[in-house]
């Protein structure tokens, strides 16, 4: 241990979460106080390796403060504060406890200076988030939670094998920048990518997140994928393969979001899309690109949570989640609609919102490196984001046809949480300097140039025009979109059933053969030992004496010869 006593900031939330069941109805001060205390601890710690402990033949670093880790921990703490405010009064004690342990574990990852500490918090995140999903107490949530747990346990196993291989090769557990050029580092990257929602397991996000409660989905949107972005940012900056993985995620998320009818699944697919931008930037690996990935993650957590708060409020007040069942809600839920629109503008990188001043760092980094194809694809993807999240979500939920629904606004604490995040989306967009100041590298970039404004307005106007021209095609019907999860939800399940049937038939045949053999053995024993069997008959005493004498004689002969 070096320096003064250091307490890992993530443990404040984890240990504090254990008090939530004890305070019952008086838990609001705890829900709001814990993230504020955590935020203070994050910024109280100086940069550097602050806690080192011996473990077996290694030295682990449970607390290592970096600019990247501080940035992610800051937005995680802000998210917990707003999420706790939003969840108060509607979420169960079990969900709140699990969500705070989940969030504390995510902050633990951002301060992990070694692979073992990172892995421990990584697995606590998987368990905490699974309980958050199950806390919805529905059959769909139970099934989705099991599939979610299966995917993340698989990712955890891959990550652990990679860590073991890396430690065996290097003799060190330090978490530092790597390249996926060995078995160990490649497996570590795959483990990180599973949590990021990379192919082919991207579908777990849209499968699991929408089945949680309204507040549970808000918590889930913030931590798992963003800790994966942090881990990739710290562990694999400049890994070229991430560029193409990220581009796949970008367009995968757009296509499936455009096909989707469920408003929360639209936003879940959008998470994959947005994380794809960050993964591309990490793959580019320059200072501007890494700044862009970090800044985008910071802004994304806020505006994505805002969108899901808006959608969750609609679900809470109407009980409906499909776009075909909604519409016209702006008439009775204007505050929810306004906050949803602000979130939609931010995710679309509309000028004077947080998305505009953060995502542009990524596209500019691609342009600076002469990656024309990557730049063009990211620009096209920006139009796609405006189509599915910027227009489709607010249009079909709050406008389009009048569904006749007239629900009231959600409770005050939900509205306050939404207004808080709307303010942050606009404040960061108007004045990005404070965010730029805490990024990993010095920022020499001006987002509000004539060229950037004109280009972005052209992209957004073109996308908006295309949406309304193709409005008939954009309207969703009651259809089902098949994704890769079909394999482990249906295909593998049917194979398992078929295998079970075949093995059951084989087992029955084997049981019959064994039963027949035992029956024959019993029949033979009965023939010889039954009441009328040869060995069961009454023999005269004289005959028995003769046979004994014969056997003794044979024994003597064998002994002498």
Domain layout of the chain by residue ranges: 1-236, 237-483, 485-530
Residue 403 CB burial class (10 angstroms; 0-12, 13-18, ≥19) = middle
Question: Which residues 6+ apart lie within 8 Å of 358 measured at CB?
Answer: 292, 295, 296, 298, 299, 300, 428, 432, 435
pLDDT at site 1: 41
CA gap 315, 213 in Å, rounded: 9
Q: Does residue 476 sit in helix, strand or coil?
A: coil
CA gap 384, 555 in Å, rounded: 99
pLDDT at site 3: 45
CA gap 107, 7 in Å, rounded: 13
Q: Does residue 533 sit in helix, strand or coil?
A: coil
CB 413 within 8 A of CB 89: yes
Neighbours of 512 (CB within 10 A): 10
CB 251 within 8 A of CB 381: yes
pLDDT at site 289: 95
Q: Give me the phi and psi of 8, to 5 degrees please.
A: -60, 125
Task: Report in angstroms the alpha-carbon separations of 122 from 49, 56, 109, 160.
Answer: 20, 21, 7, 10
pLDDT under 70 in the chain at which residues?
Answer: 1-5, 24, 471, 473-480, 498, 501-502, 525-541, 543, 561
Question: Can you read off the two tokens belonging to residue 393?
Answer: 């979500």
Predicted TM-score (pTM) of the model is: 0.85
């Amino acid at each position: 241990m070096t320096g003064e006593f250091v307490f890992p900031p993530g443990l404040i939330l984890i240990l504090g979460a254990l008090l939530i069941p004890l305070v019952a109805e008086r838990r609001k001060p705890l829900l709001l106080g814990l993230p504020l205390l955590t935020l203070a601890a994050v910024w109280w710690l100086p940069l550097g390796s602050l806690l080192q402990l011996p473990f077996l033949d290694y030295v682990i670093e449970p607390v290592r403060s970096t600019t990247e880790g501080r940035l992610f921990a800051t937005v995680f703490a802000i998210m917990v504060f707003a999420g706790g405010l939003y969840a108060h009064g509607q979420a169960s004690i079990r969900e709140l406890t699990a969500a705070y342990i989940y969030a504390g574990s995510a902050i633990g990852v951002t301060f992990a200076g070694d692979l073992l500490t990172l892995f421990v918090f990584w697995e606590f995140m998987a368990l905490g988030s699974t309980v958050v999903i199950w806390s919805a107490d529905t059959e769909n949530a139970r099934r989705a939670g099991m599939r979610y747990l299966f995917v993340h346990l698989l990712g955890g196993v891959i990550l652990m094998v990679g860590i073991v291989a890396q430690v065996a090769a290097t003799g060190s557990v330090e978490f530092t920048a790597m390249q996926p050029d060995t078995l160990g580092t490649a497996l570590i990257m795959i483990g990180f990518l599973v949590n990021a929602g990379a192919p082919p397991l991207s579908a777990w996000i849209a499968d699991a997140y929408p089945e949680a409660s309204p507040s549970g989905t808000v918590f889930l949107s913030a931590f798992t994928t963003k800790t994966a972005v942090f881990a990739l940012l710290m562990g694999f900056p400049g890994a070229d393969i991430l560029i193409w993985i990220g581009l796949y995620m970008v367009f995968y998320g757009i296509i499936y979001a455009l096909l989707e009818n469920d408003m929360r699944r639209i936003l879940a697919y959008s998470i994959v899309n947005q994380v794809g931008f960050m993964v591309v930037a990490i793959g580019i690996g320059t200072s501007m690109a890494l700044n862009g990935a970090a800044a985008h993650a910071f802004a994304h957590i806020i505006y994505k949570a805002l969108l899901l708060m808006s959608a969750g409020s609609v679900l809470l007040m109407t009980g409906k989640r499909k776009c075909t069942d909604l519409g016209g809600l702006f008439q009775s839920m204007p505050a929810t609609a306004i906050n949803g629109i602000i979130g939609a503008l931010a995710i679309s990188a509309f000028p004077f919102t947080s998305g505009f001043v953060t995502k542009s760092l990524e596209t500019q980094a691609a342009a600076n490196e002469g990656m024309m194809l990557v730049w063009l694809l990211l620009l096209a993807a920006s139009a796609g984001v405006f189509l599915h999240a910027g227009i489709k979500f607010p249009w079909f939920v709050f406008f389009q046809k009048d569904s006749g629904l007239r629900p009231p606004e959600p409770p005050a604490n939900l509205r306050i949480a939404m207004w808080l995040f709307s303010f942050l989306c606009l404040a960061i967009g108007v004045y990005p300097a404070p965010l730029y100041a805490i990024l990993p590298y010095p920022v020499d970039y001006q987002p509000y140039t004539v060229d950037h404004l004109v280009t972005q307005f052209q992209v957004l106007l073109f996308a908006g025009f295309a949406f309304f021209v193709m409005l008939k095609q954009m309207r969703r019907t009651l259809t089902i979109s098949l994704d890769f999860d079909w394999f482990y939800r249906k295909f593998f399940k049917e194979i398992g059933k078929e295998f079970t049937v075949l093995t059951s038939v084989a087992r029955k045949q084997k049981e019959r053969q064994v039963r027949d053999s035992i029956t024959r053995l019993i029949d033979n024993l009965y023939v010889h030992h039954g009441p009328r069997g040869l060995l069961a008959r009454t023999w005269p005493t004289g005959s028995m004496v003769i046979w004994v004498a014969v056997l003794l004689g044979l024994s003597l002969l064998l002994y002498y010869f």
